[in-house]
Amino acid sequence: MPLNAQIDAVTKRIIERSRPTRSAYLEKIGQAAEDGPVRAHLSCGNQAHAYAAMEGEKARLAEGRAPNIGIVTAYNDMLSAHKPYENFPELIREATRDSGATAQVAGGVPAMCDGVTQGQPGMELSLFSRDVIALAAGVAMSHNCFDSSLYLGVCDKIVPGLIIAAATFGHIPAVFVPAGPMTSGLPNDEKSKVRQQFATGEIGREKLMEAEMASYHGPGTCTFYGTANTNQMLMEVMGLHLPGASFVNPHTPLRDALTKAAAKRATEITALGNDFRPAGRILDEKAYVNGIVGLMATGGSTNLVLHLPAMARASGVILDLEDFEAISSAVPLMAKVYPNGMADVNHFHAAGGLQYMIRDLLEQGLLHDDVATVAGDGLSLYTKEPVLTEDGISFREGPTQTLNDRILRSAADPFQKSGGLKQLAGNLGRGVMKVSAVAPERRVIEAKARIFHDQKDVKTAFQNGEFTEDTVVVVRFQGPRANGMPELHSLTPTLSVLQDRGLKVALVTDGRMSGASGKVPACIHVSPEAAIGGPLSRLRDGDLVRVDAEAGILTVLADDFETREPVVADLSANKSGIGREMFEVFRQNACLAADGACTIL
Ligand SMILES: O=C(O)[C@H](O)[C@@H](O)[C@H](O)[C@H](O)COP(=O)(O)O
Ligand code: SF4
């Protein structure tokens, strides 16, 4: 089927908007690639330092003819999703050695688990950690000894930060290596019900802990379709994973074979061979359009509306919220994975997963097929799935039909005619809402506002029984300039209880939510933020606010609103403790949430 007219128009608009920055970027990486294999420029001293401890690989490294692969790893014991990376460098070295090449861990990057910091002060460093990850990966790659690179990262800000680095070093190839999802434990919706029972005092902490530990029970990515698993979808739709690599569980033969195959692939696509695939050429306008199509088709995390503009800018591609809106209106919702449904990401994979989704979207003309990927030319390569063979993996045709239409459907017979994300705008600014997880009857709310400056105060008001009528809960001064734009996901159980009691509630904030946040209508990333005098700073308790996700309207119905003085909040408590004292430069330099809340580009 020909390319969908709306997708074609948005792509052309992005290419036009990005022309100056994209051409300057291509010029930069073209020059860097022309300078030839990087190790040739290093002095003998530089090289000796780089190879000194590489027992068994020194001769091959010093000879300078075999590709040397730089590994950037986000391994740590804190993220269940990153724990499997502990032994990946060993597997990778084995594979590169077998391919006549070498591999070195160029450096590590930090990775924050948003599940550990959710609702805690550490969450105020979460968004900025994306840029710290990009900077740390830049330090690793600045050793400049590499002909290709492997990026080991899965979770929320880690893949976005690594993409910013891979694009910055876009003159060399980059293959992203996933670790795979945790096997299914206590279903996510049962976990959420237990949390609501705890919030109302029906059960104690012991029962809650039991449920949490049964849900988050082993190595691998948490199984809800949050930011981490949305990242995995993106890496496949944008052609930076091997096909079908995203959702194979860790510590399985196929997982290990895929890791080794990724390493082998990284050695095959360097400038030293005849299939050169630099990252900067893959990360182009069509790759980002394909990424946003995948985001809408799967009802992915709202955090990617923040991250994608920052990621794209690193390779000279300029995205705007209107691009997300336009693509959302053209791309139907094909998947129902928690919080959009009951299934988890393992069930999604078993129902046909990304290979079926990509095939179907290509057939419907909703994805660009004419793209470069690490696997080769053409996104149709990603309709294939890996199978284990004697000496590694081979690829066979993936599913041509969904295997469970309660989880995954054709775009021709979708769960929802448009995508999972909606932009809202009005005299309170611009925000986004993930409507795929909100019941249609809850997408328009007009009610009095209750204003808060801290998510804890919302919970206290709830415990004191203060919510007795329909309410628009406004939590402001949560933007990047205020306190680092934390996720306010720990409000979900409280607001869900109010909703289940029959009240119409909505959250409006210049902060953000987790990709795992769901059924409560939340208009988030409201920009410009209150801390720089944005309209939310002029709201008062009792104002009538309309949150209309059908018409895309966010507005306050108050005649004197435009002439009010903005409220200035005391943010001194957010300036220190748990490392926040080191992040003032990030708070000072963050750009608008609508542009990705970035501090380094
Ligand atoms: O954007 C996301 O997907 C979230 O940040 C996710 O990574 C985070 O860990 C959630 O907070 C986990 O959900 P719970 O907090 O409900 O366990
Ligand atoms: S998905 Fe979230 S909670 Fe799970 S490991 Fe990743 S960051 Fe942590």
What is the distance between the alpha carbons of residues 556 and 234, in angstroms, rounded to a whole number? Answer: 36
* Residue from 75, 77, 79 to probe ligand 2 pocket by mutation (most atoms less than 8 Å from CB): 79
Between the CA of 345 and the centroid of ligand 2 the distance, in Å, is 13
Phi-psi region of 578 (alpha: psi -120 to 50; beta: other; left: phi over 0): left
Encoding tokens for residue 458? 């919302």
For residue 156 and ligand 2, the question of a CB distance below 6 A is answered with yes
- The structure tokens 């997963």 sit at 353
- The helix-helix angle for 227-237 and 158-168 (nearest 10°) equals 30
pLDDT digit string (tens) for 393-415?
Answer: 999 999 999 999 999 999 999 99
- The structure tokens 């000279």 sit at 316
- Give the closest residue (by CA) to ligand 2 atom 1: 222
Q: Give the chain's radius of gyration (CA, Å).
A: 24
Confidence of residue 77 (pLDDT cuts 50, 70, 90): very high
- Give the closest residue (by CA) to ligand 2 atom 4: 222
* Residue from 75, 80, 157 to probe ligand 2 pocket by mutation (most atoms less than 8 Å from CB): 80
Which ligand places an atom closest to the C-alpha of 220? 2
Least confident of 63-67, 68-72, 212-216, 241-245: 63-67
For residue 114 and ligand 2, the question of a CB distance below 6 A is answered with yes
Q: What percent of the chain has pLDDT over 70?
A: 100
Q: What percent of the chain has pLDDT over 90?
A: 93
Q: What is the 3-state secondary structure (H, E, C) of 172-238?
A: CCEEEECCCECCCCCCHHHHHHHHHHHHCCCCCHHHHHHHHHHHCCCCCECCCCCHHHHHHHHHHHC
What is the distance between the alpha carbons of residues 505 and 187, in angstroms, rounded to a whole number? Answer: 25
Mean pLDDT of the chain: 96
* Residue from 337, 432, 514, 519 to probe ligand 1 pocket by mutation (most atoms less than 8 Å from CB): 514
In the three-class reduction of DSSP (H, G, I as helix; E, B as strand; rest coil), residue 73 is classed as: strand
C-alpha of 192 from chain center: 22
Q: E-assigned strands of 481-585?
A: 505-509, 522-527, 544-548, 553-556
For residue 221 and ligand 2, the question of a CB distance below 6 A is answered with yes
- Give the closest residue (by CA) to ligand 2 atom 8: 113
Which ligand places an atom closest to the C-alpha of 82? 2
- Quote the pLDDT of residue 35: 78
- Quote the pLDDT of residue 421: 84
- Interacting residues of 217 by C-beta distance below 8 A, sequence separation 6+: 182, 183, 185, 186
pLDDT digit string (tens) for 529-573?
Answer: 999 999 999 999 999 999 999 999 999 999 999 999 999 999 999
Confidence of residue 516 (pLDDT cuts 50, 70, 90): confident
For residue 113 and ligand 2, the question of a CB distance below 6 A is answered with yes
- Quote the pLDDT of residue 515: 82
Mean pLDDT throughout 164-174? 98
| 222 belongs to an annotated ligand binding site | yes
Atom of ligand 1 nearest to the CA of 195: 16
pLDDT digit string (tens) for 264-279?
Answer: 999 999 999 999 999 9
pLDDT digit string (tens) for 384-393?
Answer: 999 999 989 9
